[in-house]
Structure 1
Amino acid sequence: MDERASLRSHLEKSVSQTPDCAAACEVIETIAAATIELAGRIADGPLAGITGEAGGMNSDGDQQKDIDVLADDIMRRALRDAPVAAVLSEEAALPEILDRDAPLCVAIDPLDGSANLENNISVGTIFSIRPRGNDILSTFFEPGTAQCASGFVVYGPQTTLVLAHDGRVDIFILDRRVRQFVLIKQGVRIAPDTPEFAINASNRRHWHGPVRAYIDECLAGTHGGGAADFNMRWIGSLVAEALRILVRGGVFLYPADARPGYREGRLRLLYEAHPMALVMEWAGGAATTGRRRILELGAKTPHQRVPLIMGSVRGVRDVAAIHEGIEPMFDNSDAPLFARRGLFR
């Protein structure tokens, strides 16, 4: 192994400079250690008894696989030994109280995108850390600006940890030889203007007018009077999409749409949108619902869903600009209504 800094030494340096962050660093290290265990189980798949078969439904109505249950168990078990007052998991209806006197609360998606494992596509763990309030449960309903750290792990060709902590975003890769994360990029900054977007285009017929208008103008490119010809990317894995934005730039859209169950968006605010928004903003990007900054939102329910548009400042700004000019009641209008007020001409 070369002389790259380990996650532990990186966090120890943070604690030496800012002693108040010691508890957060301990939680980060605990989560990272748990993801190393989970990465091994994911890599082994059927060899480790992971069938990928569906079991029941989780508390929010999503189909639950055996690996989801295993990931939740690994994370909960690890966090019980960390300075965590309560943990909110995608796999549980309500937060679980761990230590009422501990200083932090954690919201976590133990395994995001488990349906992708059947096709050997990257999946991940997403987490959000925030200081405990006087009332433990109400801590989870504060705006995303209350977070002191967040991050995600991508289980792919490499196991990659993206960490938003101490006001910046750093990237680590798991060195499997010594079973520890090592620093590969520090102070990551998202390219401000990359002509690339990611969206599930098969749902176009369900999109609201502002989203259709934005994508149509991207697709029209220079032929339609735009300043650039856009490329489209769609992996269908939130963590992989977010990592690509950190590396390449661009904008990711998972908007609300007209389908039942999607009218308020589909991603969960507390353990998907909030932590991703913190990563994006601390890396110089942006995250919005189209109408509101994600980090300004407070949850009303533990598993509240929201639209998420994130990435390069220019792309996010352009999507928000279309929404700002349209009253919410007209969101369902078709794209021609917006064609006269294009972004790129």
Structure 2
Amino acid sequence: MPRLITTGREIPTELARPMEALAGVAAEISGRIGRGPLGGPLGADVGTNSDGDTQKALDVIADSAFANALEGTGIRWYASEERDAPAELDPEGTLAIAIDPLDGSSNIDANISIGTIFGIQPALEDAMETFMRPGRNLSAAGYIIYGPYTAMVVSFGTGLRTFILDRASGTFVEAAQVTAIPDTTDEYAINASNYRHWSAPIRAWVDDCLAGTEGPRGRNFNMRWIASLVAEAHRIVTRGGVFLYPADDRKGYEQGRLRLVYECAPIAFLIEAGGGKATTGTERMLDRVPEHLHARTPFVFGTASKVDLITSYHDLPEAEVSALFGNRGLFRA
């Protein structure tokens, strides 16, 4: 029985088998998460990954499950956030996948939505050369969100497609509507506790949002922060808005904290396909070339006009971005 039920538009032939495999594992993970503590200590610390981040039990379970399921589906190279180096799954395969098997795993015990992020691209003969290319080389990208309902949002290059898990059958059924990012919103997401560490342009942009109707933006905004990239992305895909995880002056955060290959490039591909924009704050994310497999990057994405506005703050004179709630009257968007 197929794990992905489409409505009218077929999945590109070369991507059909890996997408089916991803859907099958996602259905199993959704079931595990849905059992909560009855399914065992899924949020227990079991070690650290190659970059020093704490691994949860479900991180390791998900990584193994996806790697095993993708064998024989045309995936040659498998690169995971949980592994030091890419693995070869199928020597004759023509595709490569970069995956964050379980994004937001620190939220497992808090019962907050978590997810899986993936990007698929043509495989080169050398594994590292394959993944050391900018995100514009992706053929498909998406995420799976394990929330009150489980959904897969994916793009094969044009537009977004949404599949909802039917828990009764264990299949993902394509939703009837075509998903595109709303172009108006009053929401933004950033971890405001790091305000003192941000660059002046980022502080100035947030200052102007906080000033509300009395500030240069002339309107009130709502700030959101879930600390789960998939959950943040899904809110923006469904409601619009903008997400910021900028670089800051703390040790280890000079290039942000999100990983370019496993998280930012796939989300950027998806966001652009839905009519939004994704940048480092100043440069297009899909043009960014990874320096190494686990490279990190600042990340700003969401409704196109909001992302453009944030970029424009980096062009302001120093005097204009230094004053709290400064008089930046040209920024009313």
Q: If the TM-score is normalised by the length of the shorter chain, which range does it land in? A: over 0.9
Match of 2:314 in 1: 323
Match of 1:8 among 4, 14, 20: 4
Q: Distance in 1 between matches of 2:330 and 2:191?
A: 21
Q: Distance in 2 between matches of 1:111 and 1:11?
A: 28
Match of 2:132 in 1: 141
Match of 1:191 among 179, 182, 186: 182
Number of aligned residue pairs: 330
Percentage of pairs with the same residue: 45
1:263-278 superposed matches below 5 A: 263-278=254-269
Q: Name the amino acid aligned to 1:140.
A: F
The change in CA–CA distance for 1:261 and 1:30 in structure 2 (over 3 A counts) is same
Q: Give the superposition deviation at 1:226.
A: 2.1
Q: Name the amino acid aligned to 2:331.
A: F
Q: Give the superposition deviation at 1:7.
A: 6.4
Q: Give the superposition deviation at 1:116.
A: 0.4
Match of 2:97 in 1: 106
Is the 8 Å Cα contact of residues 169 and 187 (structure 1) preserved in structure 2? yes
Q: Distance in 1 between matches of 2:42 and 2:60?
A: 12
2:210 pairs with 1:223: no
Q: Secondary structure at the match of 1:252?
A: strand
Q: Distance in 2 between matches of 1:42 and 1:292?
A: 37
Q: Give the superposition deviation at 1:340.
A: 4.9
Is the 8 Å Cα contact of residues 18 and 74 (structure 2) preserved in structure 1? yes
Match of 2:191 in 1: 200
Match of 1:181 in 2: 172
2:146 pairs with 1:116: no
2:71 pairs with 1:84: no
Is the 8 Å Cα contact of residues 279 and 300 (structure 2) preserved in structure 1? yes
**TM-score, normalised relative to structure 2:** 0.93
Is the 8 Å Cα contact of residues 318 and 343 (structure 1) preserved in structure 2? no
1:25-104 superposed matches below 5 A: 25-104=16-95
2:322 pairs with 1:335: yes
Q: Distance in 2 between matches of 1:180 and 1:262?
A: 40
Structure number with higher helix proportion: 1
RMSD over aligned Cα, in angstroms? Answer: 2.0
Per mean C-alpha deviation after superposition, the further-off stretch among 37-46 and 313-322 is: 37-46
Is the 8 Å Cα contact of residues 34 and 78 (structure 1) preserved in structure 2? yes
Structure 1's unaligned 5+ residue stretches are 1-5, 16-20
**TM-score, normalised relative to structure 1:** 0.90
Q: Distance in 2 between matches of 1:185 and 1:252?
A: 27
Q: Give the superposition deviation at 1:9.
A: 4.0
Q: Distance in 2 between matches of 1:128 and 1:75?
A: 13
Structure 2's unaligned 5+ residue stretches are none
The change in CA–CA distance for 1:109 and 1:276 in structure 2 (over 3 A counts) is same
Q: Give the superposition deviation at 1:338.
A: 9.1
Q: Give the superposition deviation at 1:337.
A: 8.5
Q: Name the amino acid aligned to 1:124.
A: G
The change in CA–CA distance for 1:204 and 1:25 in structure 2 (over 3 A counts) is same
Q: Give the superposition deviation at 1:187.
A: 2.8
Q: Give the superposition deviation at 1:46.
A: 2.8
The change in CA–CA distance for 1:118 and 1:139 in structure 2 (over 3 A counts) is same
Deviations 1:144-172 (A, max 9, x none): 01000000011110011111124120111
Q: Give the superposition deviation at 1:335.
A: 3.2
